[in-house]
Structure 1
Amino acid sequence: MTHTPPSTPAHRKTALIIGSGIGGLSLGIRLQSLGFDTTILEKLDAPGGRAYQKRTEDGYVFDMGPTVITVPHFIEELFALERDRAALTTPDYPAHVLEGERVREGESGGPRTREYVKLVPILPFYRIYFDDGTYFDYDGDPESTRRQILELAPDDLAGYERFHRDAGAIFERGFLELGYTHFGDLPTMLRVVPDLMRLDAVRTLFSFTSKYFQSPKLRQVFSFETLLVGGNPLSVPAIYAMIHFVEKTWGIHYAMGGTGALVRAFVQKFEELGGQIRYGAEVERVLVTDARGKPVKRPAGARVARGVALAGGEELHADITVSNGDWANLYLKLVPPQARLVNSDVRVRAARQSMSLLVIYFGFRRDGPGDRPLDLRHHNIILGPRYEELLTEIFGEKVLSKDFSQYLHVPTLTDPSLAPEGHHAAYTLVPVPHNASGLNWEVEGPKLVDRVLGFLEERGYIPNLKARLTHSEYITPDYFEGTLDAYMGNAFGPEPTLIQSAYFRPHNRSEDVRNLYLVGAGAQPGAGTPSVMMSAKMTARLIAQDFGIHPDLLGGPDVSVAQSEPEAVGAAD
């Protein structure tokens, strides 16, 4: 069955987006503002992708994926867009955004955001627990940070001042100036290499932090954050030191109702602009032809995306097709091999994928008689006894370690609505190898869950947890591989190593197939909630260029992007 929207005026272009994650929704909003009629196709029964929100029969609400929200002006910019009116006069980082004070209490987010969702600041950003029971409250306040360093490792205070200066320089160049640059050709990349070398941003992040801090604890404090975007601190480039300044500049925020509330707000905005979402619409393949509309027989000549075929056999045609799904499986499963020259099976399978996760979603009774009060924060990083060795086992050796670190999220400390009265909802996230490990998660999953929950009780993080536990379920790499269709069960797309960053990361405009684009964690600039919103703007600019719409209509400065092949449609370069 073939379907083309019958009522679409001749002058309007059509777009299909595979996946309703935050990246796909953000791009859908932008495409509607550009004048495209956009349909988002979602395999699951509700929006969000990795940011899917689950409601249980016993009254708990769990965000199944991202929980850390930063750079609220990215969100405000999306809610300010209007249908067929993409003109924005503000730059990517307006002066008031850079100069304004970070919100430390009350409600955060701009006036348009407040019409759709309530954001509140979270302090501290993270409480970071060390294995010896001490902790560090990271809140982005330099004075608070200095005070805690003096208590923890006073000899490292001077090193912190140097780190603060040098990480700030990386942030200004790598995020503020280059953040929206699409590295579509090698010369674009080579032009920035001297600056990155000068900033020492190409060595590994852990090596970079080790220059400034002698204390193992502080080395962990200022390098762990890349784990939240799938990066190994021992191998990601030091440009990721900018995460420290991204959080410090704009704070950490929470959407009341959970990240799912932000997803629903994006859906509302998208539909207000005229976009449509179809749920239970699993894409089986991208329809690719040659320039004459004939089947492609070899990976040469014109290759053009014409739409998609759904698992039930229905075909949907559109002017552009965008994948917000997993990069590797887009090419390995959805795009026929005879249509791929750059993203061949060999190249895709050779790419290093990020680690995976075991995530436990659980509910428990609040403090009862005889229970020690809960002494946790909204975001808690609980580090194990080993750091470098554990990372090597997860990312390199791909084995299940004898110990673990975890991120414990307790949103009901901020938002009691996510649990029945008198209860907490929580999840704890444990980095584990992806499925190249060969681990049998039906066997190993329950054992690791028992170890993690037992640890939280025995170490006193949640006293008497097993007696207070009222709900428990979990996901493993099998969920990422099966339900989310992520290659080898990766949780964050390609691992952000130096040789898989910038130009070497998958391009937002397909190098193989015209009118096929990518957005989200697998594309540039990378994983993480702010990054996938940036990815949406970058991809929208490429589409605007290819269809003769000047990129200034999307706000901010022009970007220099070379066409990946000479037959690109309507190129404005």
Structure 2
Amino acid sequence: MMTRLDQNLTQQTAHMAAPHAVVVGAGLGGLASAMRLGAKGYRVTVIDRLDMPGGRGSALYREGHRFDLGPTIVTVPQTLRELWSACGRDFDADVDLRALDPFYEIRWDDGSTFRATGDTGAMRAEVARLSPSDLPGYDKFLKDSEARYAFGFEDLGRRSMHKFTDLLKVLPTFAMMRADRSVYAHACKRVRDDRLRMALSFHPLFIGGDPLHVTSMYILVSYLEKEFGVHYAMGGVAAIARAMADVVEGQGGTVQLDTEVDEILIKDGTARGVKLQNGAIIAADIVVSNADAGHTYDRLLRNAPRRRWTTPRLKRTRWSMGLYVWYFGTKGTRDMWGDVGHHTILNAPRYMGLLQDIFMKGRLSDDMSLYIHRPSVTDPTVAPDGDDTFYVLSPVPHLGHENGVDWAQEEEPYREKMLAILEAQCLPGLSGRITVQETFTPDTFRDRYLSPLGTGFSIEPRILQSAWFRPHNISEEAKGLYLVGAGTHPGAGLPGVISSAEVLGKLVPDAATVTS
């Protein structure tokens, strides 16, 4: 009769004999991919250069404050629940997700505001308060958004788009839905009030896109928010990343931190493993890169022939904007600034002009739009008792523009401008309350995340850089090589990177069918 020890030894032996998958990068896309591969029977090793899992979804800890470095909200939570379910686990048993209401408040310099919620009646009332004549157009916009969600997210976003025939099949639908029109142009088609045009078109900024040029397919976010809500994970997105790593390790996988991959090894046109910065080689049956797609092709595959994603091709690519993020803690302010909720957006006097400065001219403007994250109103663990933790983000040009921003010179002056805006518009007395702070500039994104041009979200999601035109989840440059994450199909944002791993799971054969 087989004892429990015998059973464990048999299982361990079988696991060690399973095909080996190496995942480069422990970002959310990489961790989700590792979970999917573990569920398919692979022996998985995840490698990341940071000291904690999560990539841009990791955190910093300073003097009792936890600063969530990247994503701050969870939308379409069913993608996470489905991921956990595929691994035989219960997401809600591992992560405490809280629905937010309102989702966020938008403020303009004229004093007007717009509160976004999941209640259609409340949203229509907000529209009517700003511009009653725009109600019919807003209703049409919501219907437009729902149609694009069904097609763009539930259909295209959850299957591979690596075959040109896949593109040909969807072109008629793209044409019918006017995918050539920008998000901002579509908002202008439906409403006339400039404030509403901004409120209905700014969402691409959360995935690195210029609303003036990103395909109108991305108006799907308005439906996505309303239908599934905006959520916050207690402990921040870093808690989700840690829970993902726990699932991977529970499957028998390994998450190897403080380790950098120097090269993906290609032999006879097939990915065979990776070489680390210290020269060590890890063999693999398949390799999945969650590193930025640009870094993957231009750096990790620098010694392999490339047909499509060559260095000249990457130089012609349009990249997302950069980010300036100021993280700071404040003393004794938990009961202050009562009108500032979990998410607040402050708009600069210019909308179109500022977008052109950021994306087209590469110019750092004196005015700025700010996204304020104040998680301490929902999660008291982010700061000491009575204190607050803040994250304030400003979109800025990436590092690739001619005569680009010198952040060594501009970092502190820009922070001072940001402070003046915050004190004047929503956080009076802020300067006397700050106890700890940290800033990330595009230089930081380049150095910490190996992000090309220091971008915040990799490749910009324009029409000719989406779907088939975007780096594919299965690489055409080498067999056994797969890509996931923000720079790949379907795109940036938490739902996008989680879906890229779902697509991966459909492309990679079960381990039982693979021979080493």
TM bin (shorter chain): over 0.9
Q: 1:66 aligns with which of 60, 71, 75?
A: 71
The corresponding residue for 1:557 is none
For 1:114 and 1:503, the matched residues in 2 are separated by 34
CA contact (8 A) 2:107 2:114 kept: yes
Question: Percent identity of the aligned residues?
Answer: 38
> Once the two structures are superposed, what CA deviation does each residue of 1:401-433 show, in whole Å capped at 9, x if it has no partner?
121101100000101110011100010010001
Pick the aligned partner of 2:279 from 303, 310, 313: 313
CA distance in 1, matches of 2:386, 2:272: 53
Deviation at 1:365, TM superposition (A): 2.3
Greater displacement, 138-147 / 232-241 = 138-147
Report the equivalent of 2:25: 19
Task: Say if 1:170 and 1:201, in contact at 8 Å, map to a contact too.
Answer: no
| Partner Cα distance (1:161, 1:73) in 2 | 26
CA-CA distance at 1:338 after TM superposition? 4.2
Match of 1:473 among 438, 450, 458: 438
1:545-572 Cα offsets, whole Å, 9 max, x none, are 8x786xxxxxxxxxxxxxxxxxxx99xx
Tell me, what secondary structure is at the counterpart of 1:496? coil
Partner of 1:435: 399
* 1:451-466 map, 5 Å: 451-459=417-425, 461-466=426-431
Asked if residue 54 in structure 1 is aligned to residue 60 in structure 2, the reply is yes
Q: Which residue in the other structure is 1:330 paired with? A: 296
| 2:305 pairs with 1:339 | yes
Question: Whole-Å Cα distance in 1 between the matches of residues 456 and 185 of structure 2?
Answer: 25
Deviation, 1:118, is 0.5
SS in structure 2 of the partner of residue 79 of structure 1: helix
Deviations 1:173-222 (CA, angstroms, capped at 9, x unpaired): 22223321211121211111111211223311100110011000000001
Q: What are the equivalent positions in structure 2 for 1:379-528 lying under 5 Å apart?
A: 379-437=343-401, 438-459=404-425, 461-528=426-493
Alignment-derived partner of residue 177 in structure 1? 155
Q: Could you say which residue in structure 2 is the equivalent of 1:529?
A: 494
Q: Is the 8 A contact 1:125 1:379 kept in 2?
A: yes
Aligned counterparts of 1:452 and 1:444: Cα–Cα separation in 2: 12
Structure 1 residues 7, 444: closer, same or farther in 2, change over 3 A? farther
Q: Provide the rounded CA distance (Å) in 2 between the counterparts of 1:258 and 1:9.
A: 33
Aligned equivalents of 2:295, 2:212: Cα separation in 1: 27
Output the amino acid matched with 1:121: A
Shift of 1:372: 5.9
SS of the counterpart of 1:544? coil
- C-alpha distance in 2 between matches for 1:134 and 1:496: 30
Quick check: 2:374–2:390 contact (8 Å CA) kept in 1? yes
Q: Counterpart of 1:306 in 2: which secondary structure?
A: strand
What residue number does 1:285 align with? 263
Q: Do the aligned partners of 2:333 and 2:388 also contact (CA within 8 Å) in 1?
A: no
Aligned residue identity for 1:309: K
Answer yes or no: is the 8 Å Cα contact 2:266–2:304 preserved in 1: no
Cα deviation, 1:47-99, whole Å, max 9, x if unaligned, reads: 1111111111x11001000001011111112222337xxxxxxxxxxxxxxxx
SS of aligned partner of 1:312: coil
Determine the structure 2 residue equivalent to 1:297. none
Partner of 1:43: 49
**Which stretch of the first structure deviates more once superposed, 7-16 or 174-183?**
7-16
Does residue 249 of the first structure (1) align with residue 227 of the second (2)? yes
Shift of 1:375: 1.2
Distance 1:71 1:525 in 2: 14
Deviations 1:343-392 (A, max 9, x none): 11111121111101000000112349xx9643111111111100111001
CA contact (8 A) 2:15 2:43 kept: no
Measure the CA separation in 2 of the matches of 1:379 and 1:185.
40
C-alpha contact (below 8 Å) 1:20/1:47 kept by paired residues: yes
Contact residue 179 and residue 463 of structure 2 kept, 8 A: no
Task: Report how far residue 10 of structure 1 moved.
Answer: 7.7
Contact 1:123 1:139 in 2 (8 A): yes
User: For the Cα contact (< 8 Å) 2:48–2:260, is it kept in 1?
Assistant: yes
CA distance in 1, matches of 2:330, 2:18: 52
Partner SS for 1:67: coil
What secondary structure, in the 3-state scheme, does the structure 2 residue paired with 1:374 have?
coil
CA distance, structure 1, for counterparts of residue 259 and residue 177 of structure 2: 46
**Equivalent residue letter for 1:192:** V
Counterpart CA distance in 1 for 2:187 and 2:512 is 45
CA offset digits 1:518-540 (Å, max 9, x no partner): 01101100000011000001012
5 Å-filtered alignment, 1:97-246, equals 112-246=90-224
State how many pairs are aligned: 502
Counterpart of 1:106? Answer: none
* One of 62, 74, 81 as aligned partner of 2:86: 81
Deviation per residue, 1:91-111 (Å, 9 max, x gap):
xxxxxxxxxxxxxxxxxxxx9
Distance across 2 between alignment mates of 1:310 and 1:338:
16
Contact 1:384 1:404 in 2 (8 A): yes
2:355 is the counterpart of 1:349: no
Tell me which amino acid in the other structure corresponds to 1:433. Answer: P
**Counterparts of 2:17 and 2:259, CA distance in 1:** 27
Q: Does the residue aligned with 1:363 lie in a helix, a strand or coil?
A: strand
Normalised TM-score (structure 2): 0.94
Displacement after TM superposition at 1:164 (Å): 1.4
Q: Distance in 2 between matches of 1:158 and 1:187?
A: 38
CA distance in 2, matches of 1:548, 1:367: 57
CA distance in 2, matches of 1:548, 1:208: 48
Distance across 1 between alignment mates of 2:36 and 2:336: 49
| Amino acid paired to 1:525 | P
Residues 41 and 512 of structure 2 are in contact (CA less than 8 Å); yes or no, is this contact kept in structure 1?
Answer: no
The structure-2 alpha-carbon separation of the partners of 1:548 and 1:33, relative to structure 1 and needing over 3 Å to count, comes to closer
What residue number does 1:108 align with? Answer: none
- 1:374 and 2:338 matched: yes
Shifted more, 504-513 versus 10-19: the winner is 10-19
SS in 2 for 1:376: coil
Return the structure number with greater helix share.
2
Determine helix, strand or coil for the equivalent of 1:417: helix
Mapped to 1, the partners of 2:303 and 2:344 lie a distance apart of: 44
Contact kept, 8 Å, 1:372 with 1:463, in 2: the verdict is no
CA distance in 2, matches of 1:374, 1:485: 38
- Check conservation: 2:292, 2:451, Cα contact below 8 A: yes
Which deviations, in whole Å up to 9, do the C-alpha atoms of 1:276-311 show, x marking residues without a partner? 111111011111111xxxxxxxxxxxx111100000
Paired residues of 2:16 and 2:43 also in contact (CA < 8 A):
no
**Structure 1 length-normalised TM:** 0.85
**Counterpart-to-counterpart distance in 1, 2:262 and 2:326:** 30
- Counterpart residue type for residue 305 of structure 2: A
**1:284 match: secondary structure:** strand
